[in-house]
Amino acid sequence: MSEPCRSSLPGPGDAASPPFRVAYLRPAEAAQLAPERLLACVHFGPTAVPGVGPEARAARPWEIVVPLPVLGDGDVVEVWRSARPVERMMVGDVQLACGDDVAFASLCVDDSCGGLGLETATSAAYRALGAAASASGFPILARLWNFFPAIHRMESGLERYRAFCRGRHLAFTEHFAAVETNLPAASAIGSRNSGLQVFGLLLRQQGRQIENPRQLSAFHYPPVYGPRSPSFSRSIFKDWGAAGAHLYVSGTASIVGHSSRHHRDYTRQLEETLVNLQALLANADARTGRAFRFAVLRVYSRVVAPLELIRARIAAKFGPETPVLVLQGDICRTELLLEIEGLAISD
């Protein structure tokens, strides 16, 4: 991204503004922003917020660091800006920034939960998140990111991603009377940092779950992929009235039905993933009467990526103006080489 997109930052007093907007900025640009309206600044690339030591860090609770390498570009900050000033609070271990209609929640826990394992750590993290969401008046989990190390390593006889899915499923089962209709859009990525990091968007009022017609819903995956299916929706639609609408699009890979396609073929996996994203957007358009386009796209690549190919294919499918961030991170199935997620908007 040679020209970070700043056009989608809201102007003050704009009645038709959605409650927040998201843009990719350079660290130096993000550092200039007044904190009052910052829901979150997610730093990609570095292992620490540049120029901010541990003590100053505590004074800047909106800063989140995801130390996945940024491919083909310098460090990038994803800025989540509220249309209104935010109120910050801690509920248990969960840091919250609350606007009028949306809140941003984040927590980072020991991914071994003091030796009990990732499954226990995950259910504890999701219990804390559910409790904080309810207590803050933003009970809807709309869009969540999950990062933890060694996603494929075996732990107590189960791959860690599958242990994570089991812990998340348990917490959702306890928290929601009906799980399948309350699942957030999500991404789950293998990282290099320690700890289980969970963060994302909470809402006061429920959005609408929209699944992908080319893919079996992940929460219906058969047991061959693990003892508990992954608890997420393919996307969540949120209508902001005169200010337009958002579609929060989960990490999407080269999966058709429930099967991974094109093992070891990067180009074909990329193409299948883009067709999946197109099908999801078309389904959202059909169901909501909107015309969605991607405001930001993020690619997670297991290997150092063919950047020219990725940018060219995304430009061809979704327009040359679409901001794209490419990160190196591990995807939840070993045969999958990449995954793409995004935020789509409509007027």
Neighbours of 123 (CB within 10 A): 22
Max Cα distance, the chain (Å): 55
Which of 226, 230, 329, 342 binds ligand 3EB (CB under 6 A)? It is 230
187 binds ligand 3EB (CB under 6 A): yes
To ligand 3EB, the closest distance from the beta carbon of 338 in angstroms equals 10
What is the dihedral angle through the alpha carbons of 30, 49, 78, 91, rounded to the nearest 10 degrees?
Answer: -110
To ligand 3EB, the closest distance from the beta carbon of 337 in angstroms equals 12
Neighbours of 162 (CB within 10 A): 22
Residues 95 and 241: their CA atoms lie apart, in Å, by 28
305 binds ligand 3EB (CB under 6 A): no
> Does 3 qualify as catalytic in the annotation?
no
Binding string, 131-150, against ligand 3EB, x = CB under 6 A?
---------------x----
* CB closer to ligand 3EB, 239 vs 335: 335
* CB closer to ligand 3EB, 14 vs 265: 265
CA-CA distances (angstroms) from residue 220 to 147, 211, 214?
23, 12, 14
Q: Which of 155, 161, 96 is nearest to 129 (CA)?
A: 96
Binding string, 324-343, against ligand 3EB, x = CB under 6 A?
--------x------x----
Residues 134 and 113: their CA atoms lie apart, in Å, by 23
196 binds ligand 3EB (CB under 6 A): no
253 binds ligand 3EB (CB under 6 A): yes
To ligand 3EB, the closest distance from the beta carbon of 172 in angstroms equals 11
Residue type, 303: V
Which of 136, 209, 250, 269 binds ligand 3EB (CB under 6 A)? It is 250
E strands, 212-337, are 235-239, 245-252, 255-256, 259-260, 293-301, 324-328
Task: Indicate which residue of 119, 211, 272, 339 is catalytic.
Answer: 339
* CB closer to ligand 3EB, 187 vs 283: 187
* CB closer to ligand 3EB, 163 vs 186: 186
- On whether the CB atoms of residues 89 and 136 are closer than 8 A, the answer is yes
Active site residues per annotation: 339
The residue ranges that bind ligand 3EB (CB under 6 A) are: 146, 186-188, 218, 230, 232, 250-251, 253, 255, 332, 339
